[in-house]
Chains A and B, each alone.
Chain A
Amino acid sequence: MRELSLHILDVLENGVEAGASRVAATIEEDSEADTMRIEIADNGRGIPKEMIDKVTDPFYTTRKTRHVGLGLPLFAAAARRCEGDLVIQSELGKGTRVIATFRASHIDRAPLGDIPSALLAILLSGRPVDIEYSHRVDKEEFRFDSSEIRRELGDIPLTHPKVWSWLLQFLQEGEASLHAEVSEKQRAAVT
């Protein structure tokens, strides 16, 4: 996949498919340590112990509709070729946590890409699910929790055109402000 945001969308979608009512994505970028850490957690049905080792095998899937499962193997390969790793923790009935780490400056590290659209794709899911999102770049942070938005909106669904359009803009502005603040500080540090 060309962008890390597509892997994030894919793993969040796994959570939705696992019956989660809540999924969380956390991105931490640390320029001093030269690391990027992506954690995706859900409160879905979880993966049985004997299956955890198998889920990064591309020829393993629980699905009956096809014989391969490429989502997690591709994400693991993306992390491992950047001196990073992918770890899966899961507990039956409680949920699953996927942690991918990268050396941020590695030449093979794909860009994060279009995070707002990836989050919107989950918010428009046919199975309603809430997202808790946090993106930290050094000391700056952008946070978003869709349950707060739902509370304010009452009976108006997130799929309402006025709502998704507002959400997309809100997420785009949040992500942009994060990068603007960081580059502002970098400029100040240089001068």
Chain B
Amino acid sequence: MARLKNVEELKKLRNEAQKDLSVRTQTGTRIIIGMGTCGIAAGAREVMHAVLKELESRKIEAHVETVGCVGMCAQEPLVDIEQAGKSRVRYANITPENVPRLIEEHLIKGQVIQEWAIGRLDARKIQ
């Protein structure tokens, strides 16, 4: 494998990424996906994939993170969305097909999808 080429590519990537990093940390949107045994078995990895692709195609600035089981196994896949200054909303039983609507309504229009949401957590209390 052309290792040297990869190192050069990474350096280029670093320079490109550095330019928009400050903007990104200010926006502070996090999408958190449960990746415990229960989440994995329910299709969380495919949901993660769908979220990443949707963000990429719509050019939305957000950090995607995976976490272990939070104990709500029957409701997996769980997807939490947290935006700076707003409360964190937890969505349950999310499938890859749900992801475009989730991103469109919650992130772009700023509306919580009531029929999928199962809870709201105070953003300041979770770290």
Contacts and interface: CB of A to CB of B under 8 A. Distances in A.
Interface of A: 1, 6, 9-10, 13, 16-17, 63, 65-66, 69-71, 74, 114, 117-118, 120-122, 124-126, 142, 149, 152-157, 159-166, 168, 170, 174, 177
Contact of A117 (B18, B49, B56): B49
Majority secondary structure of chain A interface residues (helix, strand, loop or mixed) = helix
15 contacts: A10-B37, A65-B69, A70-B38, A121-B48, A121-B66, A124-B66, A125-B35, A125-B67, A152-B7, A152-B10, A153-B14, A153-B17, A156-B14, A161-B56, A162-B16
Contacts of B52: 161, 164-165, 168
Is the contact region of chain B dominated by helix, strand, or loop, or is it mixed? Answer: helix
Nearest to A165: B56
Interface string B36-72: 1110110011101100100110000101111111110
B92 interface: no
A164 B66 CA distance: 13
Nearest to B18: A156
Contacts of A74: 37
A170 B3 CA distance: 11
Contacts of A164: 52, 64
A89 B66 CA distance: 26
A17 B68 contact: yes
A23 to B, nearest CB: 13
Interface string B63-88: 11111111101000000000000000
